[in-house]
Amino acid sequence: MKREQNASESELRYIGLDVHKHYITVGGMNAKQEIVLRPRDVEMERFKTWVKVNLRETDEVVLEATTSTWDIYDTILLLVKRVVLIEQTGSLQPLER
């Protein structure tokens, strides 16, 4: 898998994860609201490999609350700076376990 090369490795990126049954739609922007990770669908079975290649320790990730939230959270927790959970009501909540 090829890593996105549009932004410097230390640039703060905001990554969104929209979780579906068989795939996760991912995309990201920087502080200037420039796209640094083009939206794409990542199949669930490839997600663990994809995050190791594409997420950075400086990334802040927004994760949609679903039935598989904690599995996804466990997969990305040690790879990124911060994970924020969004409930389906649209409110931002700190992600606690």
**Domain parsing of the chain, residue ranges:** 13-92
As given in the structure block, the two tokens for residue 13 are 């990126």
pLDDT of the residue at 1 = 44
- pLDDT of 78 over the 60 cut: yes
Task: Quick: pLDDT tens for 7-46.
Answer: 567 789 999 999 999 999 999 999 999 999 999 999 999 9
Helix 44-54 × helix 69-76 angle, to 10° = 30
Question: Band of the pLDDT at 96, cuts 50, 70, 90?
Answer: low
CATH number of 13-92: 3.30.420.40
Predicted TM-score of the model (pTM): 0.81
